[in-house]
Structure 1
Amino acid sequence: MISLLKTEHKKTKKKYLLLTSLLITALDLAWIFYGNFSEDAILKGWMMFLYQLPLTNAIFLPFLMTVVASRLADIEHRGCMLKQLCTIVPRGKLFDAKLLYGFSIVLACMVIQFVSVFIFGCVKGFGGVYPFRLYSVYWLFTIAASLAIYIFQHTLSMLFQNQAVPFFAGVIGEFLGVFSMFLPQLPWLRKSLLWGYYGVLQFVGSDWDSQTRISTFYLYDFDWLSFVILLAVCLVLYRIGRSLFIKKEV
């Protein structure tokens, strides 16, 4: 497996995959940090970010994962390289290697985001102590939601030679996921979409006073049940996707 991961890294060196991922992450950070922060926003900055990050990640992370999964698979689909590769590497190991390598790139970008948020908050002088426990739980929830989406995108990219199929599936799923976050009165809609779990697992709410222009943030209970269900979905998607790829004719 280690040799396969090294091979994946070598194959992507001239494809600018890492650079593309970093540029998307930079755009994500620019979106997060853009604007003037009022005194109230600085005072409540840690909680404000916990409230805003789910929506931001629902926009940028699925797009990042669609690009990464598609680029990794497209390397093999071009020139019928996948057929040749499958004669020397077991299909299951190839599926796993590309999955691990691709998601490691996504995970690295997520680490950059969370570290950047921490540094930005410290430089800005956000009020109170950094809520390490809340951010750790949020990071755990974000990883689970992202893993489910990436397995889905990875499977489509490996199965379809035309990468327009997984791309449009990702765009449509992302749109529906973001749309569902604006409909809290329809929780079933969020829970029926992989992309909606950024909102399902959100545990910070906000009330905004239009007269004082001050936001009040509050905590929900952690939705551990949905988290466990999402992990089970990840396992099911992985088993189905791997099985379909092994049986695929190339």
Structure 2
Amino acid sequence: MVAVALEFAKLRRRNVWSLCLGAAALCVAWMASDAARAAQGAADGTSALLYMAPIVNSIVMTLFAAVVSSRACEVDHEAQALKELLCLQRAGTVFAAKLACSLVLIAAAVALETVGLDALASYKGFADRPGAVGLAAFAACQIGPAFAVAALVQAVALRWENQFASLAVGLGLSLTGLFSLFFPPAVQRLVPSGYFGLLSCVRMDWDPVARTTSFYSVPFPWGDAALLAAMCAVLVAVSAWWFSRKEL
């Protein structure tokens, strides 16, 4: 906990909490534009928001996770303090603290987004508002892919002092995650940001005759959740192993 607190202390002038609030606000504003087109009290209004949220998050939350992870590493690169820091703390502790710092910020942004989504559903009087368990499950399914992105970007950010490389990876993951939503699931599973769509429990059908859309629920994809957990574990383990042997 002390190591994590120290990481946040180093980020106090990096406006990371403003970024957190801004990312959540952008996601909610994006979904509000979709909710505005739904009728007041619509029977499937919240389902439409839950369908749209992973699409939005594959762009916004992927970029947010990349930026906060990059900034957590940049603060030590800029001060040329990584060598001195590793004389006082173990490499594993530093690595875990930076990753935990990113996770806290991601969880905060997703929590704000989830509250905003529920507020939109309440304001519009949607009949299918989920309960606390449903909202918690939605939030967990957004945090997981964003954490995987943060783990990958942190490995790149610690490898190269120039943070352009890590931000380029984040932008690439954002675009790849969005476009992977239109590819078969086998392709999506290769990209951390593709799991925003894979873990969604809401699907859409389009009736070309009536020109209407309908939303329906599917069982939770436990297999994809386990695959994402395994991907995160491998990313963290390999990155931590490499960082512990990094020559400064």
TM more than 0.5 = yes
Amino acid at match of 1:102: S
User: Structure 1 residue 233 and structure 2 residue 221: aligned?
Assistant: no
- For structure 1, the 5+ residue unaligned runs are none
Give the SS at the match of 1:130.
coil
TM-score by length of 2: 0.92
Amino acid at match of 1:222: F
User: Structure 1 residue 206 and structure 2 residue 204: aligned?
Assistant: yes
Most deviating of 130-139 and 118-127: 130-139
Distance 2:82 2:113 in 1: 34
Relative distance call for 1:14 and 1:137 in structure 2 (3 A) is closer
Amino acid at match of 2:6: T
**Residue pair 2:202, 2:215 contacting (<8 A) in 1 also:** yes
Give the SS at the match of 1:87.
helix
- For structure 2, the 5+ residue unaligned runs are none
Distance 2:232 2:128 in 1: 36
User: Structure 1 residue 44 and structure 2 residue 44: aligned?
Assistant: yes
Amino acid at match of 1:242: A
Give the SS at the match of 1:94.
helix
Distance 1:90 1:141 in 2: 32
Residue 56 of structure 1 is matched in structure 2 by: 56
Residue 146 of structure 1 is matched in structure 2 by: 146
What CA deviation, in whole Å up to 9, does each residue of 1:63-107 have, x standing for no partner?
001110111111000131111111111111011111101210111
TM-score by length of 1: 0.92
Cα shift at 1:50:
1.4
Question: CA-atom RMSD, angstroms?
Answer: 1.8
Relative distance call for 1:34 and 1:127 in structure 2 (3 A) is same
User: Structure 1 residue 181 and structure 2 residue 160: aligned?
Assistant: no
Residue 126 of structure 2 is matched in structure 1 by: 126
Residue 75 of structure 2 is matched in structure 1 by: 75
Aligned residues: 247
Most deviating of 129-138 and 90-99: 129-138
**Residue pair 2:21, 2:109 contacting (<8 A) in 1 also:** yes
**Residue pair 2:69, 2:150 contacting (<8 A) in 1 also:** yes
Distance 2:42 2:131 in 1: 15
Residue 160 of structure 1 is matched in structure 2 by: 160
Amino acid at match of 2:232: C
State the identity as a percent. 25
Distance 1:128 1:51 in 2: 13
